[in-house]
Structure 1
């Protein structure tokens, strides 16, 4: 094996000449991938004057030095462009969007999407999986229009936030 299995960082071998070159190459790769941030997402054209350490997520129609690196992270270094293929669950910070970007296998990069099964605060669940639909109130012997309007507004807000499904018509 000449590279690591996850990010293809170069490995040193016993008796290898110029080990510092391989070590330095590995350190550059680690520097690019440890708490990564990118300047842009889905960019197809390499910037004309990148600065050392700046990175981008390559788009679906790359050109120039980025050809053949769709969806990869392109990082500019003193030695030129370095590329890292994304792994499932990999997350980077997008400077231009001011939000996280996560890679999902089979889907690609998703901007600002957070996936989970519930949200807890101080050990208490405050948001869980979506519940079934709740019908808008109708009928009744005594109709209180103000109460009914308030209930409908609450149901509309819960539906808009995706916390309950829309009522079947």
Structure 2
């Protein structure tokens, strides 16, 4: 029969053994050291100058002084001498220096691993609750990459639920962005946490924005709102094809063009101006006290919505133009002169009206 226990090396009392109390006390002392083990430090290398009775140190691999040659053992100060115990794999000790549980893994004292799956909650420098199962109290929170990029994912169960970031001041919400009740990304703001304004919302299919921060209509001039490209004008749509819908401009600001009948300019407000240099005519036909050419017709390069106002110049100082009633498509005219003039000259004309 062995004289020591298989795990803690406690000495057994033997039959007919003298001074059995010595063996028994030795076993008790070893139990006193190892049961509910507490150490002043782990990975200790230098013995303290004035140790106290019963203090225990978990030694490093190569301690010095009175501990030399006892690397990895437990050193206990008992009766003015160091008493050494070799730990077995799995022994646990409370480390007073770090206020943590340590475990001997066969080569060193380590912090035992903590199960990180299916925890009920985690609180970092604060407490978690049933809603905020992860709570962090800190000046900042860092989420860094592991060799490449990094994504922060916020998932929701269905389109009608919410997946968002809420920004608070003194626990009152003032801004929120994310997917709030739909799959379209939005940004909302609030002055008091109760009433909310959707400042920006993006259509998930087209990406086109809407919301209080965006111009709501072509005549919306609310201060500070973002101008929509189809409601405002810039280098890309200042010149082009003008158009309208129920009197509201829907195209460019200015449209310019020409045909064989002259030039025209259309404006977004409906104004249209047509100009032309007409066929050359002479003034030799007598009509009363004046001389005039035969009657001519000017077809406008583009149609007006109604008959425009027309004026012109006869092409010389002594000539001027006379017009019959015009239509939206053309106007008849004659070039008149105070004297007979056989020279052919080209008159010019201008018509001003509306294209809608």
Range class of TM-score, shorter chain: 0.5 to 0.7
> How many residues are aligned here?
130
Change (3 A) 1:136 1:96: closer
User: Equivalent residue for 1:14?
Assistant: 15
C-alpha spacing 1:7/1:64, structure 2 compared with 1 (3 Å)? farther
CA RMSD of aligned residues (A): 2.9
Give the aligned partner of residue 67 of structure 1. 68
Q: Which residue of 2 aligns with 1:110?
A: 110
**In structure 1, distance between residues paired with 2:20 and 2:103:** 34
**DSSP-derived class of the 1:20 partner:** helix
Give the Cα separation in 2 of the matches to 1:119 and 1:78.
Answer: 49
Please, which runs of 5 or more residues in structure 1 have no aligned partner? Answer: 127-133, 138-143, 149-169
C-alpha distance in structure 1 between counterparts of 2:103 and 2:16, whole Å = 40
Higher relative contact order (CA 8 A, sep 6+): 1
Query: Deviation digits for residues 100-141 of structure 1, max 9, x if unmatched?
Result: 111113x52113x334474665xxxx9xxxxxxx9556xxxx
Identify if the C-alpha distance between structure 1 residues 86 and 147 changes in structure 2 by more than 3 Å, giving closer, same or farther. farther
Partner residue, 1:162: none
Distance 2:18 2:116 in 1: 51
For 1:147, the equivalent position in structure 2 comes to: 178
Q: Structure 1 CA distance, aligned partners of 2:28 and 2:55? A: 16
Q: Is the 8 A contact 2:62 2:70 kept in 1?
A: no
**Would you tell me which structure has more helix in proportion to its own residues?**
1
Report Cα offsets for 1:5-49 as digits up to 9, x if no partner.
Answer: 212222211111111111111111100111111111111122222
Provide closer, same or farther for how the CA distance between residues 80 and 10 of structure 1 changes in structure 2, counting only shifts above 3 A: farther
**Cα distance change on mapping 1:64 and 1:16 into 2, 3 Å:** farther
Q: TM-score by structure 1 length?
A: 0.65
Distance 2:50 2:40 in 1: 13
Shift in Å, 1:53: 1.3
- Structure 1 stretches of 4+ moved >6 Å: none
Structure 1 residue aligned with 2:26: 25
Q: Normalization by structure 2: what TM-score?
A: 0.33
Cα distance between partner residues in 2 of 1:72 and 1:46: 13
1:83-109 CA distance string (max 9 Å, x none)? 22222221101111111111113x521
Cα gap change, 1:91/1:17 in structure 2, threshold over 3 Å: closer, same or farther? same
**CA distances 1:42-79 after superposition (whole Å, capped 9, x unpaired):** 11122222111110001111123322221111111126
Task: Give the strand-richer structure, 1 or 2.
Answer: 2
Contact 1:56 1:73 in 2 (8 A): yes
Gaps of at least 5 residues in structure 2 are 121-132, 134-149, 154-163, 166-176, 180-356
The answer to whether structure 1 residue 85 and structure 2 residue 86 are counterparts is yes
Matched residue SS, 1:22: helix
